[in-house]
Structure 1
Amino acid sequence: MSLTQAAYFLAALVLLVLATGRGRVQPFIALVVAGVGFGYAAGMSTSHVGKAFGLGFGQTLNALGLTVVAAALMAEIADASGATARLRQRARGWRSQSAPLALLGLVAGLGSTPAAAFAVLDPLRRGIGGDSPRSALVLGLALSASHGLLIPAPVMLAGLTILQADWTQAAAIGLPVALLALLLGTAFARAVASGRPDPADTARALDGETLHAPRRGALALTLVSLVLVGLLIVQSLGDIASEPLGGGSNREFLIALGRPVILLLVGTGLLLLLSGHWEPGGLTEKGWAGRALTKVAPLLLLVGAAGGLSKIAQETGMAEMNAERLLGFAPAGALALLLPFALAAVIKTLQGSSLVAAITAAGMMMELVDPLGLGDPAGRTLAALAIGAGAMCVSHINDGFFWLVARGGGFTPGAALARFSLGTALQGALAIVLLIAIRLLTA
């Protein structure tokens, strides 16, 4: 039954791509129909489908929605203050616009979720990368590489904690592997995505009537973006069970710093304050606040619908059941690392959540590390890294992160699958090859 459900899921994905190609069907409508249709095909009742989709929709918007709104408000302030135009003017003289975005993604990937990190960096990306498809792809793939392989990203913390692996070894091995995955992602983005900015967006950003203190605005946008990334990283550190930043009320305060509503208030308020920008009527429906909310509404609906589809997929249990089929395959030697990687990749692909994939795959591997010859400290560490690499691929329509990158790059769902989803798969494949090579050299 699980294989049949997976086939239905694949069919829903293909139908969504065909329906949204060339603008035939609006993506949100196609995603809702695909999600509900898959639920029925998988054998769920009408009440179960409706409850699961609504629950996933609400949970996703609760976790990510206000962060996306914060990014939209910041983008409008940046445009109106001239910050976006200023950054684009400066970035045109740089040797590479992809390198700074890749480095930002590498650091921001340490935060609580790659989707939230992409959202808070999106206004800055639009300035540095000219709002080009390439800039969105570079940032998205950089976040993916970092979040799957570096500490203190929650995906890595989950695997290391459950498998009782060595954190020092994980940091020493994960960093070079993540850097190579980052280089691959950047090179792939440069090969498959255009670096030309959106002409309509460029014209709007350079409208001389809206500019106010562009140099100050550019500096403010950069500082505020880095502050928000820092809050997301502090939240990740606060989630560590050993409580390195302190426990009790202090820990709760640190975790709260990365909550969406705090990001919204800090990001918007601090950018307004530091940029010194004030547009008459800016908080009205016709001002920057109204413009931002109007623009971001379609993306919020897509992110919520992706959460609904993900929840339906989780309710079927097909991800875990299909992953369990792999447990009968026990590769020998260093190739044993293929099993934790495949478990995480199958679960992630079928149900959408990287963290759930990491936790589930690590739980499945707890009793298998010794029989597979991975029970030594180095083996456990490499197994946790393999889980992290698998948990970040393949990101597609049941993942809100996918829709943020797709909308940021102006990609259709099919184009995003051929670029971002394939990019995450290539990064994961490179990571597991490198981890196997390290096992062969150190065993």
Structure 2
Amino acid sequence: MSLYQAAFFLLALLFVLVVTARGRVLPLLALLVGAAGFGYAAGMSTSHFTKAFGLGFAQSVNGLGLTVLAAAFLAAIADAAGATAWLKEKARGWRSRSLPLAVVGLVSGVASTPAAAFAVLTPLLRALGGGAPRPALTLGLSLSGAHGLLIPAPVMLANATILAADWALTLAYGVPVAVLTVLVGLGFARAAASGRPVEADTSVVMDGDSLHAPKRAALALVLVSVGLIALLITQSLGDIASEPLGGGSNREFLLALGRPPVLLLAGVALMLLVSWHREAGGLGEQGWVGRGLAGAAGLILLIGIAGGLAKMAQETGMAEMNAERLLGCHPAGALALLLPFALAAVMKTLQGSSLVAAITAAGMMMELAAPLGLGDPAGRALAALAIGAGAMTVSHLNDGLFWLVASAGRLSPTAAVARFSLGTALQGAVALAALILLRLLFS
């Protein structure tokens, strides 16, 4: 049954791609219909699939959706204060916009989730990237690649903890592989997407009660973006369930710092305070609040529907059952790393959540590490990294990060699959090859 469910899931994805091609149907509507079709085809009752869908929708909107709203408000303030236009003009003289974004993605990849990090960086990306597909693809691939290979990203913390891998050794192996993976993503983005900025009118008519200081607003946008990323990284530290950073009430405090309501309130308040932006009616429907809400509403709903589809896939259990089919394969030597990678990749692709895929794959590998020849410290560290790389492969329509990259790069679902999804698959393959090579060298 699980094979049939996986086939129905892939058919639902194909349906969304076909009907949204050339803009014939809105992705939001197509994804909703595809989710319903998958639910019924997979044998879920109406009550079951609607409950699962509603839960996934609510969790996604409450989590990533609020973060997207915070970013939309920041972008609206930056546009009104002239920060977006000022930064865009400064970036015109840069020889490359992609390399700085790749570095930012590498550092920010240890945030609590790559999707949240991408969302809070979107206002800065709009200014520096000019709405071009290449910068969005570069940042998305950099965040994805780093998140699956670096501690203290939650995916790697979970892997290393469950497999009892040495964190220092995991980090020592993970850093060079993460750098390589990010460079591969950078090269792929340059080859697959245009870097030509999409000109957009970011000017806002300012009245006598408004202060228009673009340099100060640009500085505010940079500082606030860095601050929000720092909060998300701090939240990752809170996932370390041990003293001195992660134990007891300290852990709850650190986790709270990166939660969406804090990002929303703190980010907007700091942006207004540092930029000293004033706009008559700014808090109303015609002000920056209204503009931000209008710009983010469609994307938030789309992310919610993607979350609903992901939850439905998780409820069927098809990801775990199909992954278990691989447990009978026991590759020899350094190729043993193929198994943990494949387990995580299958589950990520079928149910969308990198963290769920990583935790489940690590649990399956607990008793298999020693029989596969991965029971030594180096083997456990590399197995954890293989799971992390697999857990970021492949990002597609049931992943919020996919839709964020597609929106920022102005890519259709089909174009995003051909670029971002393929890019994450390529990064996963390169990371796996690098890990196998490390195993050969240090076994």
TM-score, normalised on structure 2? 0.98
Cα displacement (A) at 1:249? 2.3
- What are the Cα deviations for residues 203-258 of structure 1, in whole angstroms up to 9, with x where unaligned? x1246758811111111100000000000000100110123425322222121110
Paired positions, count: 440
8 Å CA contact 1:343, 1:390 repeated in 2: yes
Large movers: runs of 4+ above 3 Å: 206-211
1:205 to 178, 182, 202: 202
- What residue number does 1:222 align with? 222
Amino acid paired to 1:45: S
Question: Which residues in structure 2 correspond to 1:37-436 (within 5 Å)?
Answer: 37-199=37-199, 201=200, 204-206=201-203, 212-245=212-245, 247-436=247-436
2-structure distance, mates of 1:254, 1:158: 17
Give the root-mean-square deviation of aligned CA atoms. Answer: 1.1
Secondary structure of 2:374's aligned partner: coil
Q: Deviations over 1:359-408 (max 9, x none)?
A: 00000000000100000000000000000000001000111111111111
Question: What residue is the counterpart of 2:9 in the other structure?
Answer: 9
Amino acid of the structure 1 residue aligned with 2:436: I
* Residues 95-145 of structure 1, C-alpha deviations (whole Å, 9 max, x = no match): 211111111111111110011000000001111111211111011000001
Question: Partners of 2:188 and 2:246 in 1: how far apart?
Answer: 41
* AA matched with 1:392: M
Q: CA deviation at 1:65?
A: 1.4
What is the CA–CA distance in structure 2 between the aligned matches of 1:362 and 1:253, rounded to whole Å?
Answer: 27
Q: Distance in 1 between matches of 2:5 and 2:414?
A: 22
Which residue identity is paired with 1:237? L
**Structure 2: how far apart are the matches of 1:330 and 1:189?**
35
**Amino acid in structure 2 at the alignment position of 1:161:** T
Q: CA deviation at 1:92?
A: 1.4
Which secondary structure state, in structure 1, belongs to the residue aligned with residue 358 of structure 2?
helix
SS of the aligned residue for 1:315 comes to helix
Task: Name the amino acid aligned to 1:308.
Answer: G
Q: Is the Cα–Cα contact under 8 Å of residues 79 and 204 in structure 2 kept in the other structure? A: no
User: Which residue of 1 is the match for residue 36 of structure 2?
Assistant: 36
Paired residues of 1:306 and 1:398 also in contact (CA < 8 A): yes
Distance 1:28 1:106 in 2: 30
Deviation per residue, 1:237-284 (Å, 9 max, x gap): 011012342532222212111010000011111001101111111110
What is the CA–CA distance in structure 1 between the aligned matches of 2:283 and 2:203, rounded to whole Å? Answer: 22
Q: Which structure 2 segments of 5+ residues have no match? A: none
Partner deviation per Cα, 1:260-315 (whole Å, 9 max, x = no partner)? 00000111110011011111111100111101101111001110000100011011
Structure 1: distance between partners of 2:251 and 2:39: 39
Q: Which amino acid aligns with 1:89?
A: E
2:148 counterpart SS class: helix
Identity level (%):
70
What is the identity, as a one-letter code, of the residue corresponding to 1:282?
G
Which TM-score applies when normalising by structure 1?
Answer: 0.98
Moved more, 393-402 or 206-215: 206-215
Which of 125-134 and 221-230 deviates more?
Answer: 125-134
Residues in 2 aligned to 1:143 and 1:217: alpha-carbon distance in whole angstroms: 26
How far apart in 2 are the matches of 1:273 and 1:207?
Answer: 19
CA–CA distance in structure 1, aligned partners of residues 246 and 161 of structure 2: 18
**What amino acid maps onto 1:100 in structure 2?**
P
Residue identity in the other structure for 2:101: L
Shift of 1:185: 0.3
1:195 shift after superposition: 1.0
Question: Given residue 340 of structure 2, which amino acid in structure 1 is its aligned partner?
Answer: P
Aligned residues of 1:406 and 1:416 also touching (Cα < 8 A): yes
The answer (yes or no) to whether the contact 2:349–2:394 under 8 Å persists in 1 is yes
